[in-house]
Amino acid sequence: MSQDRFITLITKEFTNELTASEVSELAGLLQDPLLKARYDLFKAYLSNNQSDHSSDERVFNKIRTKIAQQEAFPISSQKSKNKRYLWKVAAAVFVLIIASIAIMTYLVGISTRQIAYTERAAKKSFTLPDGSKVVLNAESKLIYPKTFKDKQRQVTLVGEGFFDIAKDPKHPFIIHTEQMDIKVLGTSFNLKSYPDDPFSETTLLTGAIEVTLKDRPADRLTLMPSEKLIVRNPTAKDELPESKSSAITQITHLQKMDNTVIETSWIFNKLIFAEQSFVDVSKMLERAYDVKIDFKNQHLKQLKFTGHFERESVTDILNALRLVEPFSYTMQDKKILIY
């Protein structure tokens, strides 16, 4: 059975012109799983594109003309409806072949990747194929290969993670986030990049890292131990006062409270914040306790709090905070309203 015959049968079915014998012939061909898969793709394509062919006509005429020149025989200016659809199906076959190659390439890529993720109120510790240690904070995701075969060890992070990277100078370790790429050889650091947070930040504990910002690829920033880089996230909903919204990038130093590094306190199931806005604290509470917090009074979002909590419930924390600044709240199931 030639490819042309298979295409012709599909075309005639689409135009309701199959004979009884051709119906049986097509049904027999579709017993082949490969042909059945192609048939389903062709049918889906034709069904989705039959309503408007006006923009396709010139393309198909060019294809016909080109083929005619190569085969050295003239094409009649009058074509039947079947012929037009035949060329459309042939073009669809070409499109589907290209799409199939792209899909297969994508699927092969997926088959070699691993995805580690955490829900709210959860954390996960694991080891990467190269021996690097990772701790994922709540509501985070790390995409990494099953084995590191390239010259660079590359992973992608959405959310927050603490990394202790195995040393391998010949194969630099690179972490991709939405706002920046982090390049390391062997070091430990915390990286926070939640899409809905106003800032992304990376805090270096040991070693050195090189940071490339996505919107400034020519610039490279090198962090030394105890330094923290804060990068504005332009896609996040702006919850900050106007005076702070202009801060794009800044390097500062990690903070400590009771000899605990605030930026990595979450690893030890501690919730520590220093002079942070109520809206930032609420996001920490949402991820740590799997709750949803809304503000009825928008001005309360900018209240500043400092606190150190370890095993308290979310209501214990809210009750402690309202001893510092006046506010009220109600809680039903996992929904909390601040007013």
Summarised one tens digit per residue, pLDDT across range 270-316 is: 999 989 999 999 999 999 999 999 999 999 999 999 999 988 999 99
Task: With a cut of 70, say whether residue 143 has pLDDT above it.
Answer: yes
Task: With a cut of 70, say whether residue 51 has pLDDT above it.
Answer: no
Q: Is residue 315 part of a domain?
A: yes
Q: Is residue 244 part of a domain?
A: no
* Whole-number pLDDT of residue 260: 75
% pLDDT > 90, the chain: 41
Q: Is residue 89 part of a domain?
A: yes
Q: How confident is the model at residue 332 (pLDDT cuts 50, 70, 90)?
A: very high
**Which of 126-140, 239-253, 315-329 has the weakest average pLDDT?**
239-253
C-alpha radius of gyration, the chain, whole number: 29
Q: Is residue 205 part of a domain?
A: no
* Whole-number pLDDT of residue 63: 33
Q: Which H helix or E strand runs over 49?
A: helix 33-49
Residue 36, domain extent? 3-111
Residue bearing the bigger pLDDT, 168 or 73: 168
- Taking only the tens place, the pLDDT of each residue in 241-264 is 443 433 356 778 777 776 678 889
Q: How far apart are CA 225 and CA 209, in angstroms?
A: 9
Residue 296's CATH number? 3.55.50.30
Q: Are 138 and 288 in contact (CB under 8 A)?
A: yes
**Which of 32-36, 45-49, 216-220 has the weakest average pLDDT?**
45-49
Task: With a cut of 90, say whether residue 156 has pLDDT above it.
Answer: yes
Q: How far apart are CA 139 and CA 194, in angstroms?
A: 9
Task: With a cut of 80, say whether residue 71 has pLDDT above it.
Answer: no
Q: How many domains does the chain have?
A: 2
- Taking only the tens place, the pLDDT of each residue in 15-44 is 566 777 778 888 888 887 777 776 776 666
% pLDDT > 70, the chain: 69
Q: Is residue 45 part of a domain?
A: yes
What angle is formed at CA 89 by the lines to CA 86 and CA 90, rounded to 5 degrees? 85
Q: Burial-class residue 259 by CB neighbours within 10 Å (0-12, 13-18, 19+).
A: exposed
* Whole-number pLDDT of residue 77: 46
- Taking only the tens place, the pLDDT of each residue in 159-186 is 999 999 999 989 999 999 988 999 997 8
Which whole number is the average pLDDT over 104-111?
Answer: 48
User: What is the average pLDDT value for the chain, to the nearest integer?
Assistant: 78
Q: Is residue 25 part of a domain?
A: yes
Q: Is residue 16 part of a domain?
A: yes
